[in-house]
Amino acid sequence: MECKNCAFLLKEDDTYCNSCGAKVIRNRLTLKNLWAEFIEKFFNIENTLVKTYITLFKKPEDVIHGYVSGIRKRYINVINYFALAVTISGIQLFILLKWFKDRMDISPLVANSTPDGFVNVDWMYDYYSLVVLINLPIYAFIAYLVFYTLKKYNFTEHFVAMTYISAQYSITTAFITLTTSVIGFNFYIVGSILNIFLMIYTAYCYKRIFKLSTGDILIRTLLFIGIAMVFLIIYSVLQIGVMILTGDFQEMIEAEKAKRGVTYIASSVMNWTS
């Protein structure tokens, strides 16, 4: 008898291939054994996925620093874990946009930032993976600056840490935001609240990775937020510059003037009729 995966010669009583490690399958597929295999693969506490997810909460340094220091087999590698997070988030967005689009209105958070109180962020859903990929190196660079004095991680290693943290956050909050949206809460309001959890979780991970005191990680967290705000201001200035060059900024001003004109006319009519 040969292994169906690598053609290695097997003994009749072998349950695993001694060459590639694959499990020897003797029975035909049925719904029962297919379901049993699924449960064994994905819900077993020894499963790599489950173990990675749980450990990133209990001992994140084991996963993150373990990967940085060369451990590859014990937990899911950072690329696969990030890909899983993007996939789950993509499914979540598809469900919300398909059946709960009214929960995806960002206007309550930025109603005063546009003339008509409406903000179109559909482009972000189309390029969600790209948006996340752009943000990750920025977060990693800020972390590199904040923890530079420790001289423990280089930029790439901070990138790995931030990718694991971001993936863990995305997987966890995908189910939370989906559930809260289904029962009637606004997606962006819930997401804004959960961002506090992201800051706390990031600080928790770095505290354990670098074995920092509570006071030290608190100071570095505030520094991280401060640098992030500077990046946000720079981004906003660049965005306004692009809008001026493309003419969108002038259109926004004209739209605001038109809105105020309509409001003034309506107010005058109401005063006249009263």
Q: Identify which of 17-21, 71-75, 138-142 has the greatest average pLDDT.
A: 138-142
Q: Is the pLDDT of residue 192 over 50?
A: yes
pLDDT in tens, 99-112: 877 776 665 555 44
CB 72 within 8 A of CB 81: no
Contacts of 217-225 with C-beta under 8 Å, sequence gap 24+, read 220/146, 220/147, 223/146, 224/142, 224/143, 224/146, 225/199
CB 17 within 8 A of CB 5: yes
- 91-97: average pLDDT: 81
Q: What percent of the chain has pLDDT over 70?
A: 71
- 75-99: average pLDDT: 86
Q: Which band of pLDDT confidence, cut at 50, 70 and 90, is reported for residue 140?
A: very high
Q: Which band of pLDDT confidence, cut at 50, 70 and 90, is reported for residue 253?
A: low
Of the chain, the end-to-end C-alpha distance in Å amounts to 96
Q: Which band of pLDDT confidence, cut at 50, 70 and 90, is reported for residue 265?
A: very low
Q: Pull the structure tokens for residue 24.
A: 């020897």
* Range scoring the smallest mean pLDDT among 25-39, 74-88, 168-182, 204-218: 25-39
Q: Is the pLDDT of residue 98 over 50?
A: yes
Only one residue has tokens 């960002």, namely: 106
Q: Is the pLDDT of residue 214 over 90?
A: yes
Where do the structural domains in the chain lie, given as residue ranges? 1-43, 45-241
* Range scoring the smallest mean pLDDT among 129-133, 134-138, 245-249, 265-269: 265-269
Give 202 or 251, the one with higher predicted confidence. 202
Q: Which band of pLDDT confidence, cut at 50, 70 and 90, is reported for residue 221?
A: very high
- 258-269: average pLDDT: 50
- 222-239: average pLDDT: 86
Angle value at C-alpha 229, between 224 and 230, nearest 5 degrees: 100
Which pLDDT value is given to residue 46? 55
- 244-262: average pLDDT: 59
Q: Is the pLDDT of residue 204 over 90?
A: yes
Which pLDDT value is given to residue 254? 61
- 255-266: average pLDDT: 52
- What does the mean pLDDT of the chain come to? 78
Q: Is the pLDDT of residue 226 over 80?
A: yes
Only one residue has tokens 């349950």, namely: 15
